[in-house]
Amino acid sequence: MTKKTLDRRLFMKGVGAATFLAGAAGVPLAPANSKGMGHASMSMTYNLNEEFNRIGSNDFKWDAIRRGARPYDVPFPMGVADMDFRTCPQITAALQKRLNHENWGYEAAPADYIDNIIAWNKKRYNIDVPRDNIVNCLGVLDGVLSVLKVFNTNNEKILIHTPGYSGFFSVIHQAGFGEIENPLKMVNGRYEIDYDLMEEQLGDNVKILLFCNPQNPTGNCWTAEEMRRMGDICNRKGVLVIADEIHCDFVNKHAKYTPYASLGEEYAMNSFTVKSASKSFNLAAHRTAYMYSDNAEYIKRVIDEGGHHRELLHTMGTIACNAAYKHGATYMDDVQAYIDGNCHFLERFCRENMPDVKYKVHEGTYLAWIDCTAVAEKLGDPEDGDTIGDMLNKFFIQKAGVNINAGEHYGKNGVGYMRMNLGTTHRKLHGALNAMKAAIDAI
């Protein structure tokens, strides 16, 4: 294949570049007041079309990516998994009320904090989270790390489904362990678990399965049947299950989220579930999460043997999460519907305007797993030291001003894929896709 050299000169500057690329693509940019491109008649309580400016807030998604990409501009950062929408106003009001107190001594979480965690899970998913078995975490991976250190005392490897959340690799290595990948199989356009391979992989050398539900980055909402089959293998072989369900509130209209712990006693008693309001309400900076298990002895071990002491969390974080669970149901419903619209628009745009990128509307999360294999083939061989994902990432940054994540970060079978964050306005998504189309057409 002929190697395509990526331009090392300044390719674009400022928002004007996005407008130029949109016109070059031959597809008009959506108006700022667009009511939605996936569901044009969608009626919403909150204005998620607002172009909320995050530049200058020192966040990873906009500021850090733009600094790291210099001299190239990145008007469409769509990698880091947070959202571009203004936060639910009831959360901001609760934080402002606390700020006005002007004293920052030791402080407990709001009195109804646990009540609202329980109520949110019961009302939306009909699951009874055991009150006495809820443990605070600084983040989902903080909880995962504590469980790994207590329950993997013989230094076995941890099994993960891939493509799988890149943070799993990091936390496993941080705990001093290694991982075994269970590659998901693509069947009729949807990823499925390879149960036969799982059966072989689990046993003497693997005692923990760490998985996402919904799956990051593939977007699978695992069915009860799929998870029971997986759980039966784990229970039979004495393997503990850790379910990261942080994306559970993002489920597209055609899909359903089933909590792992709701499958039955034998599954709930041999598992931990880790959750947070941080993904649903864009509160990652507040560093609050929680984990639970129906098995009280498991929780006791994490606290007694692992030293997991998180009785007091960040004051503002607990206030923010409490307000989210207490007042944020309509906001979450609006965000869910908006993301669903973005997913359908992305699928249609790829099919009609950008056939070198393959995508089918996924089931859960606001993260699209897009197949860019044909684009990689057009670009040719990567530069020395680069992976295919590195090449694709540089290409989209330099030629389109779009940052998306390399598939290799999520496992060996992620080569040729990229992860795109759809938690942004319709206008930004449309601009990014126009820019990507123009860049691909110019290869």
- Identify whether residues 293 and 375 lie together within a single domain: no
- Mean pLDDT value across residues 195-219: 94
**pLDDT-derived band at 29, boundaries 50, 70, 90:** low
Please check whether residue 403 is in contact with residue 63, taking contact to mean a CB–CB distance below 8 angstroms.
Answer: no
**pLDDT-derived band at 42, boundaries 50, 70, 90:** low
**CATH number, domain at 424?**
3.90.1150.10
Tally of structural domains, the chain = 2
> Does residue 24 lie in a domain region?
yes
> Does residue 155 lie in a domain region?
yes
pLDDT at 310: 85
> Does residue 2 lie in a domain region?
no
Please check the confidence at residue 412 and state whether its pLDDT lies above 90.
Answer: yes
> Does residue 4 lie in a domain region?
no
Residue 395 vs residues 11, 269, 357, 392, 442: alpha-carbon distances, Å: 11, 47, 14, 5, 12
> Does residue 8 lie in a domain region?
no
Tens-digit pLDDT profile for residues 350-369? 999 999 999 999 999 999 99
> Does residue 5 lie in a domain region?
no
Which has the closest alpha carbon to 426: 81, 13, 40, 20? 40
Mean pLDDT of the chain: 90
> Does residue 228 lie in a domain region?
yes
**pLDDT-derived band at 9, boundaries 50, 70, 90:** very low
- Identify whether residues 242 and 349 lie together within a single domain: no
Given 300, 327, 354, the domain boundary residue is 327
- Mean pLDDT value across residues 151-173: 95
309 or 159, greater pLDDT: 159
- Identify whether residues 57 and 122 lie together within a single domain: no
> Does residue 261 lie in a domain region?
yes
- Give the percent of the chain with pLDDT over 70: 90
Q: Residue 45: give the domain boundaries.
A: 14-87+330-441
- Identify whether residues 259 and 340 lie together within a single domain: no
**pLDDT-derived band at 114, boundaries 50, 70, 90:** very high
pLDDT at 6: 52
Please check whether residue 278 is in contact with residue 308, taking contact to mean a CB–CB distance below 8 angstroms.
Answer: no
- Mean pLDDT value across residues 72-77: 90
- Cα gap 401→405, rounded to integer Å: 13
Lowest mean pLDDT among 42-56, 86-100, 141-155, 314-328: 42-56
Query: pTM here?
Result: 0.90
- Identify whether residues 371 and 278 lie together within a single domain: no
- Identify whether residues 109 and 247 lie together within a single domain: yes
Given 327, 355, 378, the domain boundary residue is 327
Lowest mean pLDDT among 4-13, 401-410, 427-436: 4-13
245 or 72, greater pLDDT: 245
- Identify whether residues 217 and 239 lie together within a single domain: yes
- Identify whether residues 382 and 296 lie together within a single domain: no
- Identify whether residues 164 and 257 lie together within a single domain: yes
**CATH number, domain at 148?**
3.40.640.10
Residues 6+ apart with CB under 8 A from 264: 228
Given 262, 296, 327, the domain boundary residue is 327
- Identify whether residues 297 and 172 lie together within a single domain: yes
- Identify whether residues 173 and 143 lie together within a single domain: yes
